[in-house]
Structure 1
Amino acid sequence: MEGNVTSLTSAEISNLWSTYVHDSIVACLLTHFAETVTDDEIRPLLDEMLNVANGHLRAIEQLFAAEGIAKPVGYPVEKHVYSGAPKLFSDIFYLEYMYYMTKFGLAAHSGAIALSSRQDIADLFRAFLNEAVTFNDRTRHVLLEKGVYIRPPYIVYPKQAEFIEKQRFLTGWFGPRRPLLAIEVAHLFTTARNNELGKATLTGFAQVAVDPEIRNFFLRGVRVCSDIMNTVHDVLRESNVPAVMSPDVTVTDSTKPPFSDQLMMAVINALSAIGTAEYGAAMAVSLRRDIIALYASLIAKAGAFTEDGANMMIERRWLEYPPHFLDRQQLALQKS
């Protein structure tokens, strides 16, 4: 701690709080993964990443205790993971999921550093970021070794610099459309891959969910992911871009839940929120109007799905209130 340490800002508290809740979810998932994995190359990664997630929880708990801030309840493993449950996903799914989480960590921790005012908080998130970089490299290496890493499409190398000469470069509604830009393909590829992983997750969760309403919500999510993947593949095929291939993200035939319904809802809501943010980033760098409109529709679709999931969690008193500013008007009314 610094001498004369100033109070944490709202941005710092928010990022620490969100990191704690997210890592408590990750710890639950990795606990089941580590208990059921059979691949000797994947097991060490799971064990080490689980230790890292638990280390994050301890570090944030200590920081909040020192600051006099109530820590989130989050998702304790002993409450939300059912030990001894059969394996729900394949080992390759475990590896793919870890890789996806490291990519989220790269974005989240770097963003937290940029919003940190106190040096100790910036240093903490820098340490988290370095861990995410390390595990991103290691999981990608194992995916490559196993021949299941799916590379983005290749393009012919540009041979000279060019400038845009006609306004139709931006069009996309009517008539011939220009070929997709490399950056547009990169984000469409990411969108398809993320929804493939989301579809597999939702399929597995639908098999084991106890609450019928939650089960139907997961099945609805499977349909949403399928529709998004089909739409993206159509756009890619129109520009003669190879379709995105899927690795072996097999869902087993188990119907016995390894997780609580509450945890599974939290996982899906988190994935939906991450997807919505990625659609916004993709829209910002897309220059064809039809592609921009596509991402706008995906944001609306994902937003509606996320909102319905959040409402279901609120009805069950499952959604923890994030740190927030005081309602001064309410305080005044209470006094009167």
Structure 2
Amino acid sequence: MKKLYEILIAQDKEVKEYLVRGRQIAQQHVDLFSEMLISEDLPAPMSWDSAVSDSTTPVFSDKLMMFNVSSMVAAGIGNYGMAIAASPRRDIALKYATLLPEIALYAEAGAKIMIKHGWMEEPPQADDRNEIIQG
């Protein structure tokens, strides 16, 4: 049986690894919140895995997949922020807050991949004040 990494349609190895990592992070988050719901006798959401195609023919470019994943990650970070602000339960807000650093690092890794391939321009950086003083 082939591993998910081997059958993922992305062409670039680094993009494949990034997408697999994202899937693992998402699954961990789903599991965490599903456990919380189940422990409160509430229904947990179903997985959408059944809608995944078994095609091995690339339908979308790596550039488009990275753009879409980056957009969804940015939206997810915003959703977690809104959830923190709107949740009356501190324990749930704390869960969101502890998950944000992992997502932020994932978003940064995606941006670096896109910059490396020329799919995104590097954002302007602040001047290095120490270098200016030395120089």
Give the TM-score of the pair, scaled to structure 2. 0.80
Deviation at residue 215 of structure 1 after TM alignment: 0.5
Deviation at residue 245 of structure 1 after TM alignment: 2.7
Q: 1:262 aligned to 2:63?
A: yes
The structure with more radius of gyration: 1
Deviation at residue 298 of structure 1 after TM alignment: 2.2
Provide the C-alpha distance between the structure 1 equivalents of 2:41 and 2:49, rounded to a whole number of angstroms. Answer: 25
The one-letter amino acid of 2:102's match is: K
2:129 aligns to what?
A: none
Q: What are the residue-to-residue correspondences of 1:17-96 with 2, within 5 Å?
A: none
Q: Secondary structure at the match of 2:8?
A: helix
Q: What are the residue-to-residue correspondences of 1:195-214 with 2, within 5 Å?
A: 207-214=8-15
Deviation at residue 247 of structure 1 after TM alignment: 5.6
Provide the C-alpha distance between the structure 1 equivalents of 2:105 and 2:91, rounded to a whole number of angstroms. Answer: 21
Q: 1:310 to 1:252 in 2, by over 3 A?
A: same
1:294 aligns to what?
A: 95
Contact 1:207 1:254 in 2 (8 A): no
Runs of 4+ in 1 over 3 A off after TM superposition: 246-249
The one-letter amino acid of 1:293's match is: L
Provide the C-alpha distance between the structure 1 equivalents of 2:48 and 2:33, rounded to a whole number of angstroms. Answer: 18
How much identity, in percent, do the aligned residues show?
Answer: 36
Provide the C-alpha distance between the structure 2 equivalents of 1:280 and 1:236, rounded to a whole number of angstroms. Answer: 20
Contact 2:70 2:107 in 1 (8 A): yes
Q: 1:317 aligned to 2:118?
A: yes
Greater mean alpha carbon deviation, residues 215-224 or residues 241-250: 241-250
Q: Which runs of 5+ in 1 are unaligned?
A: 1-202, 328-332
Q: Which of the residues 7, 11, 19 maps onto 1:218? A: 19
Contact 1:236 1:242 in 2 (8 A): yes
The one-letter amino acid of 2:52's match is: V
Q: Which of the residues 19, 22, 38 maps onto 1:237? A: 38
Q: Secondary structure at the match of 2:51?
A: coil
The one-letter amino acid of 2:15's match is: I
The one-letter amino acid of 1:305's match is: Y
Q: 1:247 to 1:304 in 2, by over 3 A?
A: closer
Deviation at residue 321 of structure 1 after TM alignment: 6.0
Q: Which runs of 5+ in 2 are unaligned?
A: 127-131
C-alpha offsets along residues 49-99 of structure 1, whole Å, 9 cap, x if unaligned? xxxxxxxxxxxxxxxxxxxxxxxxxxxxxxxxxxxxxxxxxxxxxxxxxxx
1:280 aligns to what?
A: 81
Provide the C-alpha distance between the structure 1 equivalents of 2:115 and 2:48, rounded to a whole number of angstroms. Answer: 35
The one-letter amino acid of 2:108's match is: E
Alignment root-mean-square deviation, CA? 2.4
Provide the C-alpha distance between the structure 2 equivalents of 1:262 and 1:270, rounded to a whole number of angstroms. Answer: 12
Q: Secondary structure at the match of 1:208?
A: coil
Q: 1:247 to 1:208 in 2, by over 3 A?
A: closer
**Number of paired residues?**
122
Q: 1:315 to 1:250 in 2, by over 3 A?
A: same
Give the TM-score of the pair, scaled to structure 1. 0.34
Deviation at residue 248 of structure 1 after TM alignment: 7.3
